Structure 1
């Protein structure tokens, strides 16, 4: 039996993510790639409020420019709500209000966080009480990063990134995020990676058919040691992202000369994540970035996945 249907709006908060490690396998026959990644959920959040309604709709506000986001049936959060309704046989709809703070097309999984939050919010609003395992299955059909936004914390993702195994992480890691004014297309970055590998085939190691996460990354996370993690940050998409956006190299250099232990392009970019040794170093680093005219945010990780919060 499901839980009672809520008559008041339900608010859910879901985190953005950083890929502290991302290994991309060879291109498959279907044009996609297997990946092995270490995700960390960080304290930059999307807030989704679900209101009872007859139909399905979504609107946006937030600290980022939301003018380019679709609000029709193609929107990922609306697709998530409809998928849950189909799965559970719920006959009503929902009006979603989303406050966005994760950059759009920024390599931090903001759209995936919206979808995960919509699943949790509608499940609570409609009283459908779907088991977590079933929510994760629905999430995986919506996108590779959606299951992790639902799970949160720290996890290893394989296959498309949607096959998750929780990973132990001690303490908190301090990051400063440097944002770009324009997003990047994930398919374009993967295409650039394939071209990069073909261009330098004689000079670089061939792509793996079965990528895996470096065990040093897992050890650093378990130890809660930022200096150890800094030594093994890695992202196969960074080189093609820098080729498409050469100015990101300047951001990485500025971060590292301003006190960051290391920097990495998050996911397919263009957000740059700079790892600091502690909170004081993170504050100094953010001040340095701001003085150079960069938009930035100071965050910590790991944090919880999509969850209901009080208004």
Structure 2
């Protein structure tokens, strides 16, 4: 099938995310884990430009270290483009320019945001008009975090994390994120969590994971203090076991006035919740003075969109 290009070049932006709450069930027979997450899209974005090409190619740059990002079909954005072409019966290709600002392998869903942006960019470039429901289905095939990158805002994710329902939120929440040198493999962190649970005699099946109602109440109230009391990440113990050097930064953030500090997703990026924008800036200054790269971000922000 042939398509008339809607534009010569399409620019799409997708947000990174934080897991405000993350509960992990035991490993299932298929090797995966059921989870319950409260996601929030934050103001650290990935930018993707798409333009017509004979084949599927990608160029990657950014303000973060992109040396470990594959530029072949292992890249989620390229796989997303191929999925759109396959679904729409499009016979051509696309060139993607990806500019990354979300830490790579940092637990903030940067690769998932790239994939979501590529889905939207190719759909817009080729005029395939697949619709939100179909794009969500394609996103779920690419990874658990890709559907949320499409959706944005704040949401509860269950199942593999891709069964989403919007969460009511009042106001904004301010965070300081601290990327760490070197990434952590998400499968490795999950596997290590299984080992830790087995070592502590907790290998039996757990109940179906669920988001703490206190988290949802705090979000509805726009109350960062209450959110700090209920925020939790089951992957944190495994991430800190693999990267014990992160503990000192968590302690520093706590001493500097963060309401809560936690590993973001599978890590190693750390996220510190602040009382407000002013408190976040003060925390950013303290962490930066300690030689850390500290970024002030806020959420919720919109999901993937054409610019």
TM-based fold match above 0.5: yes
1:155-170 to structure 2, matched below 5 A, reads: 155-170=155-170
The match for 1:106 is 106
The match for 2:304 is 306
Distance 1:230 1:205 in 2: 28
The match for 2:252 is 254
Is structure 2 residue 63 aligned with structure 1 residue 63?
yes
Q: Secondary structure at the match of 2:230?
A: coil
1:31 to partner: Cα distance: 1.4
Distance 1:28 1:16 in 2: 28
Q: TM-score, normalised by structure 1?
A: 0.96
Q: Deviations over 1:69-111 (max 9, x none)?
A: 1111221100000000000111221100000010111000000
Is structure 2 residue 279 aligned with structure 1 residue 263?
no
The match for 1:135 is 135
Q: Is this contact kept in 1: 2:175–2:271, CA < 8 A?
A: yes
1:226-237 to structure 2, matched below 5 A, reads: 226-237=224-235
Q: Deviations over 1:18-75 (max 9, x none)?
A: 0000000011111111001000000000000001111110011111111221111221
Q: Is this contact kept in 2: 1:7–1:52, CA < 8 A?
A: no
Q: Deviations over 1:195-234 (max 9, x none)?
A: 1111112xx6965241111111110111111001000110
Q: Is this contact kept in 1: 2:232–2:262, CA < 8 A?
A: yes
The match for 1:288 is 286
Q: Secondary structure at the match of 2:266?
A: coil
The match for 1:51 is 51
Is structure 2 residue 16 aligned with structure 1 residue 24?
no
Distance 1:60 1:187 in 2: 24
Q: Is this contact kept in 2: 1:3–1:129, CA < 8 A?
A: no
- Measured at CA, do residues 21 and 111 of structure 1 come closer, stay the same or move farther in structure 2, by a change above 3 Å? same
Distance 2:233 2:181 in 1: 22
The match for 1:245 is 243
Distance 2:4 2:136 in 1: 22
Distance 1:76 1:279 in 2: 33
The match for 1:37 is 37
Q: Is this contact kept in 2: 1:237–1:267, CA < 8 A?
A: yes
Q: Secondary structure at the match of 1:231?
A: helix
Distance 1:168 1:3 in 2: 39
Q: TM-score, normalised by structure 2?
A: 0.97
Q: Structure 1: give runs of 5+ residues left out of the alignment.
A: none
Q: Which runs of 4+ in 1 moved over 4 A?
A: 204-207
Which is further off, 22-31 or 2-11? 2-11
1:3 to partner: Cα distance: 9.1
Q: Is this contact kept in 2: 1:21–1:234, CA < 8 A?
A: yes
Q: Deviations over 1:254-275 (max 9, x none)?
A: 1111011111101000000000
Distance 1:65 1:112 in 2: 17
Distance 1:33 1:281 in 2: 36
